[in-house]
Structure 1
Amino acid sequence: MRESNERDGESHTNVRNVVLVVFDTARAESAGPETTPALSSLAAEGTTFENAFAAAPWTLPSHASMFTGRYPSEHGAHGGHTYLDGDNRTLAEAFSDAGYETVGVSNNTWITEEFGFDRGFDELRKGWQYIQSDADMGAVVRGEDVREKLQATRDRLFEGNPLVNAANILYSEVLQPAGDDGAARSVDWIDGWLADRGDDPFFLFCNLIEPHVEYDPPREYAERFLPEGASYEEATAIRQDPRAYDCEDYELTEREFSLLRGLYRAELAYTDDQLARLREALESAGELEDTLLVVCGDHGEHVGEHGFFGHQYNLYDTLLNVPLVIRGGPFTDGGRRRELAQLLDVPATLLDTLGIDDPELLEGGHGRSLRPGASERRDAVFAEYAAPQPSIDRLEDRFGELPDRVRAFDRRLRAIRTRGEKYVRGDDGFERYHDLEANPGERTDRSVDRPDRVRELRRRLEEWFDGLEEADAGGEVAMQAGTEERLADLGYL
């Protein structure tokens, strides 16, 4: 085991490296020994936070909060402004300035330099590319048949380096493992990087996107989780288009949703096996015991719950409650902590545990260190959906006349959640109140029955967000055509 480097702050652990792994779209209720045994094994050695919550229900604002310790209206990266502006200090910048090697591997198009997430990273790789390139050949991958694939190849091959583009197409169409959306390739690269890197401490970030729509796990994983009597062919033939479903462009039966949930759980299991391989890579490199390993979801998913498919337009716990496990240093012995925690606590937790003093990041955010004994525990967590994504205008462009239910989504939502209660309010006057002890599934709105509690929680919610400095950001950011197509494929546009 290597000795820890001297830091400006006081280290509270003998670990010297940090690995932050995000299971994209992993909700807490679907993680566990059956679907995520590798994560459960880490939990048995480390610490599980049973009540961890994202600050936003989708990738861009949630990652931005996790990197900055700030809420979406503060950092300004959300559906109304899809870019993390440079006046936000990030976790990678803090580690880089502290002398760490900083490397990221992203399999989600939002988490790239195009949207401001590269700051502080020595390298931020696009995990879906075999050879790193600014040109994205995702349109070829998404072609429905040979004709569409050939047309996309003709349209895109000469964007940038045609040899690199051809290699990326060859990999995705012929050589890529079935059912893998970049996780296996990302872990392969990390394994090689660990073997060849120098002696500096490192901060490694890795986003694994497999649990995200479309759910297309390898057959052997799907068959483990599909309902009895269901076939892989039947399940994978179901249309997976969350925005079209939300806009009532098509319907799904409860049986179809049960098959989709099976595919979703299979995706979690496949991603978990890649986590096991990542752990093995750390062990082989002699780095595991020197590393603080953090695994979390960035947000959850609706697969028919509350009448939704995907992760937009609401703030139910199905989208906000995520798995969070930390192994290493003071996070040991399989402890299970039930206090409320937020993903925006990650920066404060990592810097405090490693003894890194970065006032700009810590004082600019609202995170609290989760290190045992480090700070006062929360009595409430907050979340917000700052702007609809995609916007109602974009939905109209695609679907024409929208149901009234969908038009109501054109609002900002904010939520406060305590251990026993949840209150959600929209800037259009919409509100919901849930007694989570009597109704843990948030199925019954009790706002009319409990006016006193609604007033108190409304007051706390307004005071909290009124005290935040809102980012001066507005308007969607122009993106490359290939990026826009990839995001549409993921159900965002």
Structure 2
Amino acid sequence: MAGSTNTNSSSNERDPKPHSTPRNVVLVVLDTARARSIGPETTPTLTRLSREGTTFDNAFATAPWTLPSHASMFTGTYPSEHGTHGDHTYLDDELRTLPESFADSGYETIGVSNNTWITEEFGFDRGFDELRKGWQYIQSDADMGAVVRGEDLREKLQATRNRLFDGNPLVNAANILYSEALQPAGDDGSDRSTTWIANWLEERDADRPFFLFCNFIEPHVEYDPPREYAERFLPDDASYDEARAIRQDPRAYDCEDYELTEREFSLLRGLYKAELAYVDDQLGQLRSALEDAGAWEDTLFVVCGDHGEHIGEHGFFGHQYNLYDTLINVPLVLHGGPFTGGGRRDDLVQLLDLPATLLEAVDIDDPALREQGSSRSMHPDLTSASASPSRDAVFAEYVAPQPSIDRLEARFGDIPDRVREYDRRLRAVRTREFKYVRGDDGFERLHDMTVDPNERDDIAADNPETVRALRRRLEDRFEPLEDADEADDVAMREGTKERLADLGYL
């Protein structure tokens, strides 16, 4: 992220002077925002926030897709620890969450989700006074998110049949019609979300501190930005209509159901950047709403991506089946309190460090949340009693394919051998110098990140000692992969099994 003039090259150089304590916390997730696409051209609001706050250039998600990544952000645990992934899509009740911690500390807790995975259906409502669903025209406990998540028309119709009479069928039909046909072109919920938040800020009890979580999903496939945004990022010889006519179906692309040329990927990248620009403007509206309500100066404002995206890189489209930095290196900016004027930091941090960081920033001590996971505070004050040494490595996991290989076969029939190879779990360890990825099928890759930041050259065969050392790091952090299937089984409740069956996972 460009533009900052105050540079902190390591945590050991942080300014230990006392800082103000924010009263409120706002956590904004730009769904599918990758670090490499953030900057003054695409995200000027975030760039301004970066100049005024603290930017973490080496921030990493624990997983390459929404559900496990959010679970890590909420609990401070890795995917194999919280057990929320493609084979088990529910965040178990035994885990304490960040919203619960704020609620128990007297905060008003509000969530606004525009991603259908982040709902009460999957256990993410705990601790929220209210968790709104951005794809619903009429807020309802009966969630039609399974329709939105459908990979194709067949899955959408099946989900409609299964869910239409769950509650009020008229309300359900209205919500399906809105999300599938009537939602404003170019907006996937962020505009309605910022408007609702602005109204809520005006009407809320100002005597009570608040924790606000918001997920903006616009950068996620399907890329459908407003025309005026798209035309800023498309090549001069390309039209908006040409770009929008390109098929956007990552799983079909993976399964070789169709092909994309380099020009088509170039146009898709333009649409993706336009989506980032659009949601960045919504981020600006959210900041303005906080300023108008008199809450900005008293708020810790956090913006991150939950994972990245492949748009032709490494032969992939979307964000599944691998752990390249394109998917796990995400933007992370904090503003307010101790993070105001913090400059750029290049220390290795993880999104699961957010719980410890946010709670310390507002002086909340929650031993249960702190001790259940691996969250380390990123607080800039090294004299803090809970200050943690900088990480010398970060880790990521891909516990189970999503969608499963069985679902791909049900949709496409015979799938390429290349895709069958993705039916594995992956783990990665990344230091400043090396990135090592290992699969439970014996797959492994090693990259020298100092000379090969795009992870093109596998050097595992030429560096056996480095491979052994990093493999040990993985096994020290997690259990050995060959034992993983037995070790990380999560007992599912009957209600969870029913949800998974509804979604086609069981």
Aligned-pair distance for 1:161?
3.0
Is 1:227–2:235 an aligned residue pair?
yes
Q: Decide which of 431, 442, 447 is 1:434's aligned counterpart.
A: 447
Q: CA deviation at 1:75?
A: 0.4
| Match among 68, 71, 76 for residue 78 of structure 2 | 71
The answer for the alignment partner of 2:330 in structure 1 is 322
Structure-2 separation of matches of 1:394 and 1:475 = 20
How far did 1:475 drift?
Answer: 6.8
Following superposition, the deviation at residue 168 of structure 1 comes to 4.0
Match 1:463 to one of 458, 469, 476? 476
Contact 1:136/1:483 (<8 A) preserved: no
What's the secondary structure of 2:339's corresponding residue? coil
SS at match of 1:160: coil
- 1:303 and 2:311 are equivalent in the alignment: yes
CA contact (8 A) 1:137 1:482 kept: no
Q: Does 1:274 align with 2:274?
A: no
Residues 171-207 of structure 1, C-alpha deviation per residue, up to 9 Å, x if partnerless?
5588743211100001111111111111210100000
Q: Secondary structure at the match of 2:348?
A: strand
Amino acid at match of 1:49: F
Equivalent residue in structure 2 for 1:209, among 193, 196, 217: 217
Q: Say whether residues 1:387 and 2:400 are aligned partners.
A: yes
Which residue identity is paired with 1:69? G
Instruction: For residue 138 of structure 1, report the CA deviation from its aligned partner.
Output: 6.8
Q: Deviation per CA, 1:58-79: give whole Å up to 9, x if none.
A: 0000000000000000000001
Between 1:219-228 and 1:297-306, the stretch displaced more is 219-228
Counterpart CA distance in 2 for 1:382 and 1:58 is 15
Could you tell me how far 1:484 is from its partner in structure 2?
A: 4.3
SS at match of 1:375: coil
Letter in structure 1 aligned against 2:238: A
Partners of 2:491 and 2:313 in 1: CA distance: 32
Residue 13 of structure 1: CA displacement?
Answer: 3.2
Residue 432 of structure 2 is aligned to residue 419 of structure 1: yes
Alignment-mate amino acid for residue 366 of structure 1 = S
Matches of 1:249 and 1:174, distance apart in 2: 25
1:52 aligns with 2:59: yes
Contact 2:162 2:502 in 1 (8 A): no
1:227 Cα offset (Å): 1.4
| Unmatched runs of 5 consecutive residues or more in structure 2 | 1-17, 151-155
Aligned twin of 2:298: 290
- In the superposition, relative to structure 1, how do residues 170 and 303 fare at CA in structure 2: closer, same or farther (>3 Å)? closer
Distance 1:142 1:408, change over 3 A: closer
Report Cα offsets for 1:361-389 as digits up to 9, x if no partner.
00111011001123210110001001111
1: CA distance, partners of 2:242 / 2:414: 31
Instruction: Determine helix, strand or coil for the equivalent of 1:339.
Output: coil
How far apart, in 1, do the equivalents of 2:179 and 2:105 lie? Answer: 38
Q: Report the residue type matching 1:440 in the other structure.
A: P
Residues 406, 287 of structure 1: alpha-carbon distance in 2 compared, 3 angstrom cutoff: same
- Judged with a 3 Å threshold, the aligned counterparts in structure 2 of structure 1 residues 467 and 88 are, in CA distance, closer, same or farther, namely farther
Q: Distance in 2 between matches of 1:462 and 1:151?
A: 41
Indicate yes or no: 2:342 matched with 1:339: no
Cα distance in 2, alignment partners of residues 466 and 481 from structure 1: 26
Q: SS of the residue aligned with 2:74?
A: helix
**Structure 1: how far apart are the matches of 2:149 and 2:351?**
32
Instruction: After superposing the two structures, state which structure 1 stretch, 63-72 or 467-476, moved more.
Output: 467-476
Distance 1:178 1:479, change over 3 A: farther
- How far has the Cα of 1:353 moved from its partner? 1.0
Residue 15 of structure 1, CA deviation: 1.1
Distance, in Å, in 2 between the alignment partners of 1:179 and 1:482 is 32
Please tell me the residue identity of whatever aligns with 1:74.
Answer: E
The residue that corresponds to 2:272 in the other structure is 264
CA shift for structure 1 position 449:
1.1
What one-letter code is carried by the residue in structure 1 that aligns with 2:469? E
Deviation (angstroms), 1:130: 2.2
Which of 64, 69, 78 lines up with 1:62 in the alignment?
69
Residue 82 of structure 1: aligned partner: 89
The one-letter amino acid paired with 1:128 is W
1:140, distance to aligned residue in structure 2 (A): 8.7
Amino acid paired to 1:287:
A
Scaled by the length of structure 1, the TM-score of the pair is 0.90
Amino acid at match of 2:117: W
Q: 2:136 aligns with which of 117, 129, 150?
A: 129
Task: State the 1:265 CA deviation.
Answer: 0.6
1:232-285 Cα deviation digits (max 9, x unpaired): 111111111111111111111111100111111111111111100000000010
Q: CA deviation at 1:395?
A: 1.1
TM-score (norm 2): 0.88
1:40 aligns with 2:47: yes
Change in Cα spacing, 1:155 to 1:361, as seen in structure 2 (3 Å) is closer
CA distance in 2, matches of 1:335, 1:169: 45
- Shift in Å, 1:463: 1.1
* 2:466 paired residue among 453, 472, 477: 453
Q: CA deviation at 1:160?
A: 3.1
CA distance in 2, matches of 1:479, 1:297: 30
- The aligned length equals 474
Q: Given that residues 345 and 368 in structure 1 are in contact (C-alpha distance below 8 angstroms), is that contact kept between their aligned partners in structure 2?
A: yes
CA contact 1:12–1:355 (8 Å) conserved in 2: no
Q: Which moved more, 1:469-478 or 1:299-308?
A: 469-478
